[in-house]
Chains A and B, each alone.
Chain A
Amino acid sequence: AQSVTQLDSQVPVFEEAPVELRCNYSSSVSVYLFWYVQYPNQGLQLLLKYLSGSTLVKGINGFEAEFNKSQTSFHLRKPSVHISDTAEYFCAVSRIIQGAQKLVFGQGTRLTINP
């Protein structure tokens, strides 16, 4: 079975500081990996995805993530955060099961940006 572990439930950082949100997954087969962001009182929005190819994936709002197969990790990074990045971030792993994509989410990391 697949699972996703987000190692930090909350991450506070100062504005303009760098941030890394950690995500580890377990799977015995090839996976597709995603990061979603959820702003207060909104649904989830896709930040970036890894399907294949380059292990460094760039997404929206200046975020990027690196797929590391040997460490089964897919950590999310941003070199300089802004107040507007305050949100909850979810890492997810996907497989095609019976022809359909199934997403398994981590527990989420709440990112708080302090001025």
Chain B
Amino acid sequence: GAGVSQSPSNKVTEKGKDVELRCDPISGHTALYWYRQSLGQGLEFLIYFQGNSAPDKSGLPSDRFSAERTGGSVSTLTIQRTQQEDSAVYLCASSLSRQAYEQYFGPGTRLTVT
């Protein structure tokens, strides 16, 4: 079956612009996670959604970052007023439930801020 998909695969933007990154989880997976993978920082948890519950935003690095999940499925991560330090690969993962141990990762979106 289809795995987690993310779009775009690559995004180059100018400093100060806003960007939106999209994640389509596996059908039926209620839990959705966003991570950031950058040089020197490794993989960092950003935000977590479970169904229609309020998200866990504890990993978001600043208030320029926000995310939403519509209808308990597709999620969009928005970065406002991008900075060069936002350059990274943004990974999305989903799991069957909030207590499921296996997370399935998408291929990621490589964001470059010039």
Contact = CB atoms under 8 A, between A and B. Distances in A.
A103 B31 CA distance: 13
Contact of A101 (B103, B105, B108): B103
Contacts, number: 54
A36 B103 CA distance: 10
Give the size category of A's interface with B.
20 to 34
A51 B88 CA distance: 31
Given A43-B4, A44-B91, A103 B107 contact: no
A105 B43 contact: yes
Chain A interface helix/strand/loop/mixed: strand
A45 B98 CA distance: 18
Contact of A90 (B43, B93, B107, B108): B43
Contact of B56 (A51, A100, A103): A100
A96 B107 contact: no
A99 B42 contact: no
Chain B interface helix/strand/loop/mixed: strand
Interface string A41-61: 111111001010000000000
Given A45-B105, A49-B101, A101 B95 contact: yes
B30 to A, nearest CB: 11
A81 B104 CA distance: 25
B73 interface: no
B75 interface: no
Most A CB contacts (10 A, CB to CB) among B42, B45, B50 go to B42
B105 A44 contact: yes
